[in-house]
Structure 1
Amino acid sequence: MLAPCGLLAATVAQAAVDSPVLLDTLFQDHTVLQRDTAIPVWGQAKPNASLKIAFDGKSTTSRADAKGHWKAMLPALPAGGPYTLSVTAADGSTQTAHDVLVGDVWLCSGQSNMELQVRRTLNLNSEISGANNDRIRMLTVPQTGASEPQDHFAAPVQWKPTTPQNVADFSAACYYFARELQKTVDVPMGLINASLGGSRIEPWISAQALRKVGGYDEALDTLALHAKDPKAAAARWGKIWETWWRKQPQVKQGDEPWKAGATEDGWKAAPSPLINYQEWGVPDLASFTGMLWYRTTVTLTAKQAAQAATLSVGNVDEVDQTWINGTGVGSSSYGGSSRDYPLRHGLLHAGKNLIVINDLNTYQAGGVMGPADTRALRFADGSSVPLDSNGWQYREVPQGMGTPPLAPWLAVSGTTGLYNGMIAPLGHYALRGALWYQGESNTGQGASYRRLLEAYRDDLRARFGAQLPLLIVQLSSYGPAPTHPTESGWADVREAERLVAAEDKHSGLAVAVDIGERYDIHPANKQELGRRLARAARHVVYGESLPPSGPLPVSATRAGDAVEVSFKDVTGKLVAYSSNHPIGFELCGANAGSCHYADADLRDGKVVLHLDTPAAGDMSRVRYCWADSPFCTLYDEAGLPAVPFQLDVTSKH
């Protein structure tokens, strides 16, 4: 789920030595433009310059504003090409993009399962060697967050035709989708991959849309401050974090580990050198994930304390919240910027200074680690004081603390940063639709995921078109198979995804629960996922009458001593794999923990559940495929799995 925020190093057409930069970097050699709609183009010129834009033998004009920004609309065209797009300014300077195609353009976004490259999928040697298709073009957006919406990408981008060399590192889900779709929609395909491993949904949503969701004002206000004064924002976020800590029921009154003079209870010496805490030989930490406190002190002279200084805390896996002398000075996460925190004047003092780090680790190795020389106070005169000289102490955190507030500027877990850095630079590029594969990092917040996904959908449409189709991948499975009914954050997210797709005729769902891998959060069978996404697109986007996914639940009705579950979008008839009876169904009461596995039969195109549990009279809900990694056997004759779901039971009239 984790991925570094590396920047791409591509050479783009507009960077040629003899070419003035008139066109935005999106419009370059090998670009794909959206067919059958007016095509927005834009760029940069001298202030107030007049420009002529020519494409496919037609031309239009534009004038740059006082800052040099210009934009124009090209007339709609059917699929075709290659064409030449050129912009000429009044002073005679010109820029030309060659080999431009017109077809369907798709935005593919999400976290690591959307980012996962073709080279990491099944049958990779054959897939890569056979990838020669000049009519599928690919562009990868540089991975970065930003405190404010950006007009330009953080690094050069390049449209690339599909070749064995180009496809290996591109999004597999995105590529296999387009390859499958092109079998029935025979037009050029343009693919824009804007994804980042480990990312939550909140960073992908604009500030305006998050404010409408509610509950994010404090984080968004702090992010706005961060854009102007990072030191002040760090101190403000430290206070917000501290408020959260004090409110936790596990925390004793007055327990404030970031302050000098706080309780000494529980602090122990950390080993030297600092390594992954799971390897310290401490039984309680051997497989621990969660929060851990670290602290040390450095002694400074008056001269040192008076200088401008930067605190370097080195490698912390994965999220740190750091204080000096009781004031928050920074927070970073994996893949973010270097953990170097400039300090405001007056924060340091002569004598002993306290440095405290709270580390949040959610996956495998964790803690403060790495070479000792990466941890130091560095001063303006070039001198430094190592942080490890006096040794470190650590303290465990009370059980059941949950996740603390995460700094809004963190790329993968903050608020609106990925929208600002990766979506905003796309401007209003004309799209045919969007693909979304995300949710693993939000499985602890299933109850709010539906509202956030709706906000994401509406946000895309505000930027790219009011009826932009959205194709949602319902989360695949991951983790141990269940042996009894249980509550599941993964199932909660799947249900939110089902409901968002169902409420909107311009949205579709691709079910992936049956092609997950129990021991790998990144299932390699992205080819089948691409086929299912393409099928959903054929129905939702292109109007084909075929069912868009597998069997979808319609109702669960009480009928005597049974509950009948009806389905729609069934190709042929319902079938149960490897058994005469489908498995994976549960009957539940109103409360959590009230579910029981239910025996089921297929009868007259319905699933009939038998009320033979001790609490049958209280059964008010049906759940299917409800676990992190469920085992489910209901399909249709097209080989498509039934959609995981939860439904209320109603009485037959």
Structure 2
Amino acid sequence: MAATALTALGPALAQAAPLLAPVFTDHAVLQRGQPIRVWGAARPGEAVELSLDEAKATATADAQGRWSTTFPAREPGAALTLTAQTSGERQTISDLLVGDVWLCSGQSNMEYPLRRSLAGEAEAANSADPNIRLLQTGRTSLPEPTTALPKEAAWRPATPESANNFSAACFFMGREIKKTTGVPVGLIDATWGGSVIQDWISREGLHALGGYDEGLAVLADYAKSPDLGMANWSAMLGRWAAKAEPQAATWNRPDFDDRDWKTMPAEQFWETNPGLETFDGTIWLRATITLTAKQARQGATLSLGPIDDLDTTFVNGREIGSSQGWDRPRNYRIAPGVLKAGPNLIAVRAIDTSGGGGAWGPAAQKGLKFDDGSFAPLGATWRYKVSATIAQSGLPPTAPWVGTSGLSTLRNGMIAPLVPYGVRGFAWYQGEANVAEPQTYQRLLTALVADWRSAFKAEGGGPDLPFLVVQLADFGPRHTAPVESGWAGVRDAQRRTAAADPKVGLASAVDIGDIYDIHPANKQQVGHRLALQARKLAYGETTLVAAGPAPLSATLSGGAVVVRLDQPAVVQADVRPVGFELCDAAGGCRFAEAALTGEGVRLAVPAGFSPAKVRFAWADSPILNLYGVTGLPATPFEMAVAP
């Protein structure tokens, strides 16, 4: 941990809190070429004097105790010392470098540590570089923005110890940027595996985007009172269910006849049952517990173990709780008077959005624990009935305060403490958690870019900060016929976001994934491709080819569809490109014979077929052999065919 020196100028202030915001520690990198923003906290109305080596500045704390100031822009040079002091406190941090700062964020593939990458032990052993500085924010999810970072979050020079668990993709990108520019590089790792993009956008950004106000209102209620927030979210989930599965309106009632329902084990994910191997959606679970009169008179706690991902649970037709979290045990309090002597119905609406689903965990731990300490087991099986797939129902409203699947909570806990630290740009690797809603991802990614640019915009304005996006790697089974693909949909949303913004760069990973592992180890190539985009967008190498071929247009001409590309393309390991599809207006798609032309690719149209759109590499794990002359893969896409 970086050391912070506090000097008490009065005996009563010996344990005073640091004056500087927690992002300022020993070994930090300050962004070159722009005014250096410094801020922190002091007593309301107190004057703060600052020095950055020979440069001086002053500030006054406002009514909430916040203060901020700026120092003139600097270029790289000798290490600096920053001091802040008031009439009763003093804080000094040292060994500060001026260089370029990059904020790296996203889910698990950006979080993926250096030690696990290809040749990770060797990479970590050779990572030492005093001119590369690393800051990890840690994982924090909050319903409201904070200015705090975990006490262990501090800038550290790159060493085998500090780099070992740092983001591999971010480190490899930064190492190449430092080698190319010759200036110190500061890298910030603010990542959380499994997180949706909505959780990284501010409340204001989501409100401006539209469609999230109900969830944001519940989040605000939760910040005031968790019980109030829980109750309002449960009601929100109930309203969604009433529209998504009206046929299930009576499935929670004891008088509903479920004798034709199938059964499943009470301690396994439902994918282990025939016919449910790939099921994502809503399934109802029912079980009956028979009680004595003595048991029924008591209060009790119903323990169901973890349920993946969301549940609403009923006892004898009365809702007793809702919860979210694939690994969070469900323990619901039942007040006296709800239970009865004889059969008691336990009904659970379980919703799984991806991966394993349903109630799991040891069956012996599931049941009713009564106030007198006795226990009535649930039993070894559930009766169940499928209600709706995710494709039929759409995604449910998740609990907006739950980190990784909520609204704004990671922005509040992990990005807000960094604002408005000077940065050169951003690197973003996320999207796997949003493949169930690819149709909204472009709007969300565009909103994230705008939100972060606004928060970190350089003092006095300036051009938009570069935003580098990793296009999702291939993962999952391959198919012999065209299929719909949420992964391909997110990749195309990423492509369209970059095509619409000259300061958004796309670093494709579609050819360097692992169809059996959602976390491919080749993060060196990811970092290299991010660095190429950084060189082009942030460092003035405007003629650098930083990505593979991308489509400009698709036109029907002379019995063929001609796809014009933005650069020359080559075919690897064959004479013809593979992976092109033509689709008609009804959504029927078929693979197309393709051939390279001078400006792109020509696709033969089968007799009697009317193409409305063209797709390329449209699959979770596409087979791809079309590349640019520099060896970067052509981007997957979907595009309407113009007449």
Using the size of structure 1 for normalisation, the TM-score is 0.87
Alpha-carbon distance between aligned partners in 1 of 2:194 and 2:617, rounded to the nearest angstrom: 24
Corresponding residue of 1:425: 417
The SS at the match of 1:192 is: strand
CA 1:201–1:265: 2 relative to 1, 3 Å: farther
Paired letter, 2:205: A
In structure 1, the partner of 2:449 is 457
In the alignment, what sits opposite 2:306?
315
Is it true that 1:109 corresponds to 2:101 in the alignment? no
Q: Output the CA distance in 2 between the equivalents of 1:597 and 1:85.
A: 62
CA positional deviation for 1:395:
2.4
The answer to whether residue 34 in structure 2 is matched with residue 29 in structure 1 is: no
Which position in structure 2 is the counterpart of 1:537? 534
The gaps in structure 1 that reach 5 residues or longer are 1-9
- Tell me how far 1:536 sits from its aligned partner: 0.7
State the 1:384 CA deviation. 5.8
For 1:300-449, list aligned pairs within 5 A: 305=299, 314-322=305-313, 326-327=318-319, 329-334=321-326, 349=337, 351-352=339-340, 356-361=347-352, 362-364=354-356, 366-370=358-362, 386=375, 388=377, 393-400=382-389, 402=393, 403-449=395-441
TM-superposed deviation, 1:68: 2.3
> Within 5 A, what are the aligned runs for 1:69-88?
69-88=66-85
**Which of these residues, 603, 608, 633, is aligned with residue 597 of structure 2?**
603
Say if 1:314 and 1:368, in contact at 8 Å, map to a contact too: yes
Q: Is the 8 A contact 1:14 1:28 kept in 2?
A: no
The DSSP-based 3-state class of the residue aligned with 1:246 is helix
Q: Give the distance between the partners of 1:270 and 1:585, measured in 2 at CA.
A: 42
Residue deviations 1:405-464, cap 9 Å, x none? 222122122222211222222221111111111111111211111111111111112211
Shift of 1:512: 1.2
State which of 214, 223, 229 in structure 1 corresponds to 2:219. Answer: 223
Does the alignment pair 1:61 with 2:53?
Answer: no
Q: Given that residues 297 and 337 in structure 2 are in contact (C-alpha distance below 8 angstroms), is that contact kept between their aligned partners in structure 1?
A: no
Q: What is the alpha-carbon distance in structure 1 between the residues aligned to residue 44 and residue 378 of structure 2?
A: 56
For 2:279 and 2:171, locate their aligned partners in 1 and report how far apart those are by CA, in whole Å: 38
Decide which moves more: 309-318 or 151-160. Answer: 309-318
1:539 CA displacement: 0.9
Once residues 650 and 561 of structure 1 are traced to their aligned partners in structure 2, the CA distance between those partners, rounded to angstroms, is 13
Q: 1:528 aligns with which of 506, 512, 525?
A: 525
Shift of 1:279: 9.0
After the TM superposition, which residues 633-644 of structure 1 pair with which residues of structure 2 at under 5 Å, given as runs? Answer: 633-644=625-636
2:469 paired with 1:472: yes
Any residues of structure 2 matched to 1:83-232 within 5 Å, and which?
83-91=80-88, 93-153=89-149, 156-232=152-228
Q: Secondary structure at the match of 1:218?
A: helix
Which one-letter code corresponds to 1:560 in the other structure?
Answer: G
Question: In 1, are the aligned partners of 2:298 and 2:370 still within 8 Å (CA)?
Answer: no
Change (3 A) 1:44 1:389: same
Aligned pair 1:246/2:242, yes or no? yes
Which residue does the alignment assign to 1:615? 608
Contact 1:47 1:64 in 2 (8 A): yes
Per-residue deviation, residues 322-350 of structure 1 (Å, max 9, x unmatched)? 456634534231477x7666x6xx96536
Post-superposition Cα deviations, 1:35-60, rounded to whole Å, max 9, x if no partner, equal 11112211222232211111131110
CA 1:260–1:195 in structure 2 vs 1: closer, same or farther (change >3 Å)? farther
Question: By how many angstroms is 1:646 displaced?
Answer: 2.1
Q: 557, 560, 567: which is aligned to 2:558? A: 560
What is the Cα deviation at residue 27 of structure 1?
0.4
Please say if residues 133 and 158 of structure 2, whose CA atoms lie closer than 8 Å, have aligned partners that are also in contact: yes
Q: Which residue of 1 aligns with 2:516?
A: 519
Aligned to 1:632: 624
Paired AA for residue 622 in structure 2: P
The 1:14–1:148 alpha-carbon spacing in structure 2 relative to 1, beyond 3 Å, is farther
Q: Which runs of 5+ in 2 are unaligned?
A: 8-13
Measured in 2, the distance between the counterparts of 1:195 and 1:581 equals 40
Partners of 1:207 and 1:316 in 2: CA distance: 29
Task: Look up the equivalent residue of 1:531 and give its one-letter code.
Answer: H
Structure 2 CA distance for partners of 1:378 and 1:614, relative to 1, 3 Å: farther
Deviation at 1:599, TM superposition (A): 1.7
Give the Cα separation in 2 of the matches to 1:391 and 1:620: 52
8 Å CA contact 2:81, 2:95 repeated in 1: yes
Q: Which amino acid aligns with 1:480?
A: P
Task: Give the match's secondary structure for 1:513.
Answer: coil
Is the partner of 1:98 in helix, strand or coil?
A: strand
Give how far 1:630 is off. Answer: 0.7
Change (3 A) 1:159 1:579: same
**Structure 2 residue 573 is the aligned partner of structure 1 residue 578:** yes
What's the CA shift string for 1:502-523, capped at 9, x where partnerless? Answer: 1112111111111111111111
Query: What is the deviation of 1:622?
Result: 2.1
Distance 1:530 1:387 in 2: 55
SS at match of 1:176: helix
Identity percentage over the alignment?
Answer: 40
Q: What secondary structure does 2:641 align onto? A: strand
Equivalent position SS for 1:444? coil
Q: Which moved more, 1:601-610 or 1:136-145?
A: 601-610
Deviation digits for residues 480-528 of structure 1, max 9, x if unmatched? 2221222221111111111111111211111111111111111111111
* Aligned-partner residue type, residue 601 of structure 1: A
CA contact (8 A) 1:332 1:339 kept: no
The SS at the match of 1:238 is helix
Query: How far apart, CA to CA, are the structure 2 residues paired with 1:202 and 1:195?
Result: 14
Cα distance change of structure 1 residues 480 and 51 upon mapping to structure 2, 3 Å threshold: same
Deviation for aligned residue 1:633: 1.0
Q: 2:314 & 2:3 partners in 1: Cα distance? A: 43
